[in-house]
A and B are shown apart, each in its own frame.
Chain A
Amino acid sequence: MQRELPRLITLVTGMFMAIQYFIPHKHSEQFYQTSLDWLIIVGIFSIVLGIASLVNLHVNKIQRRDAGTKYSYILLAGLLYMILSAILTGTDQQSFFMKGYIAVLNPITSTMFALLAFYIASAAFRAFRARSLIATILLVSAVVVMLGRVPAGEDLIPGIAKVSDWLLNVPNMAAKRAISIGLGLGGSATALKVVLGIEAPHLR
C-alpha cells in the first residue's frame, strides 16, 4: 500500500494533466489552476524541510569542526539576519531585510554571474584548439560567427555577417531542431514511464 498509493496518485494526476492539455473549457482551466496553487502550497511547506536540512548540515559541520567551518558560521549568521530583519523591520525598501538583499546578496550574485565571462574564455580556449578536422571546423565556424556579430567584422571582411547568419540559421538551426525533436520524444517517453509506474526510482 505504501508503494501502490503513490503510484495510483501519480497515474491519476498524470492522466488528468495530460487530458487537461486538450480541453480548453473553463472547468479544465480551473482544475489546472487549482493544481498549480496546490503545487505552490506544497512548495512553501517544503521550504521548511529545506531550511531544516541546511541548518542541520551546517550545525553538524560546526560540531565536527570540519574543513570550512567558518563558512557554516557565515551561512547561519546570514540566515538568522534575514529572518530576524524581516520579522523586526518588515520587507519594505528601507528595511534592514531589503538593505541586506540589495547591498549584499545582489552584488555577490552579480559578481558570480560576471565570472561567467572568464569561464567562457577559458572553456573556449580549450574547445577551439584545432586538434582534429572536426575541432578545426568548429574553430573556423566560431571565428566566422564571432566576426559576423560585430561591426568591425563586416568592415574587415565584407559579407562575413551573411555567412555568420547562414551558419546560425541553417546548420546550427538544423542541429538544434534535431536535438529538440529527440528531447521532445525522450521527455514524453520518460513522462509516460513515470505516469505508468514503469520507472519510479523513489518508490522502489
Chain B
Amino acid sequence: MHRHRRGRGLPLVAALALLPLLLLQASAALAENAAEDPPAPRPPLDLKAVDTPNDRGESVDLEWRPSPDEADPAAGALLYLIERAQAQAGPFERIADAPAGTTAYTDNSVRDEETYYYRVSPRGTGGGTSAPSAVAGPVRSTGQWFDLRKLATLILTFLFCLTVMVLIRAARRGKTFYVRPIPGLSAVDEAIGRATEMGKPILFIPGISVASEVATLAAFTLLGRVAKKTAEYQTPVLVPCADPIVMTIAQEIVKSSYLDAGRPELYRQEDVYFVTQDQFSYTAAVNGVMLRERPATNFYIGKFYAESLVLAETGNVAGSIQIAGTDEITQIPFFVAACDYTLIGEELYASSAYLSQEPPLLGTLKAQDFGKAVGAILIVLGVIMAAFGQTWFVDFFRVQ
C-alpha cells in the first residue's frame, strides 16, 4: 500500500513539470496557424449604384472595380458580400454574395421611390472579411416610361406609318401604282375555275397558329377573296381550322363573302370547322380530307411548321393544284418543292391589294417598297460607316 501511494505521486509531479512545455507547444502551434492565415483582402474600388436604365423599375445596378488583392492567391478575395441599407450610416443588411471576378450586380429586390445605400466587402480565403468599400448612394429606383434603346425602331415605325398614310391618300386621289405580276396570286382565279369545272371542292388551310398571328391575318384576307369567288361559281370551300378562334373568324369571313356575292343561301357553317389544336393530329385529319374529298385546289396560307411538307405532298398525291404562302422562312423551301405556286416573303401580305386593286391597299403595298428601299440604303450606309470605324451608326439601330 505504501509503495502504491508513492507510485501515484510521481505522475502528478511529472505532469506539473510538463505543463509549461505543453503550453509552450500550444502557443507555438497557434502562432504557426496565425502565420498561415492570409490577411483579409482590400475592399473593391469605385463602387457605383445607379437606377437600372430602360427598365420596368424595382431594380438598381451596382458596379465596382475588383479588390486589388483578387489576383493574389495568398490574400485572394473569394467572395464579395453585397450589403444594402436605407440610411448611409446603416444598419447594412447582406442581400447577396458574388464570386471573385464579379464586378457588377443587379439588385431586383428594391422598392421604387425609396432611398438605398450599398457597400461591398470582400471575404478572403481565410474566411476573414475586410473593411467594406466606400458606401455608394443614395440611389432611388424608378420605372422608365420610354425604352431609349428602341428609339430607332420608334422613328422608323413612325416614318413607315407616315409613308403608308401619304401613299393611301395619293392612291385615293387617283395616283396609279404599278404592282409586279405575282404568279401565285394570278393563279387564284384559275384554280377556283378549275375546281368549278371539275365539280370538286376547294380546301383552304389557314395555318395552324392563332388568330393574332400576322400570317393568319393575311390568310383571312385571302380567304375572303377566295370565298367570294367560290360563292359566285357555286363551288364549296372547306376550311379545317386548328384553332377555335380562327374557326369563328373564318366562319364570319366566309359568311360575309357569300353575302357579298349575293349567295347567302349557299353558305354552310359546317364547311368551316374546328379539327384539333394538336399539330400532327390536325395533319392526319386534313390528309384524310384530301384523300377522301380529292379537292381540285388546295390553299396553304398562314403559319406552318413541320406539317407543311406532309400536307403539301399529300395534296400533290391527290392531284390538286396547290397555292401556298407562309411567313415561316424554314417552311418556304418545302412549299416551293411540293406546290405549284408559292407566295414568297411579303407576297403573302400583298394578296388583298393585288386581287382587289383597291387604292388604300395599293398604297400600303407601295409603302412596303419604300420601306425596303430605306432598309437597303441604311444597310449600305451601316456597312460603309462600320468599315471606317464609325460604329455609333450601327449601334443606334441595335435593339438589345
Contacts and interface: CB of A to CB of B under 8 A. Distances in A.
Contact of A191 (B145, B214, B260, B276): B214
Contacts of A46: 243-245, 248
B29 to A, nearest CB: 59
A158 interface: no
B171 to A, nearest CB: 11
Contacts of B221: 190, 199, 201
A89 interface: no
B63 interface: no
Given A50-B244, A113-B280, A25 B336 contact: no
B107 to A, nearest CB: 16
A166 to B, nearest CB: 19
A29 B306 CA distance: 33
A183 interface: yes
A49 B278 CA distance: 16
A185 interface: yes
Interface string B121-150: 000000000000000000000011111001
Please tell me the size bucket of the interface on B.
Answer: 35 or more
Contacts, number: 190
B338 interface: yes
Contact of A22 (B55, B147, B313): B147
Contacts of B284: 108, 112
Which of B146, B312, B368 is most buried by chain A, counting CB atoms within 10 A of its CB?
B368
A188 B160 contact: yes
Interface string B329-343: 100101011100000
Nearest to A178: B345
A93 interface: no
A188 to B, nearest CB: 6
B245 A42 contact: yes
Interface residues of A, number: 63
A175 to B, nearest CB: 9
Interface in B334-372: 334, 336-338, 344-346, 348-350, 352, 360-361, 364-365, 367-368, 371-372
Contacts of A42: 245
A163 interface: no
B220 interface: yes
B248 to A, nearest CB: 6
Interface string B207-246: 0001010110110110110000000000000000101110
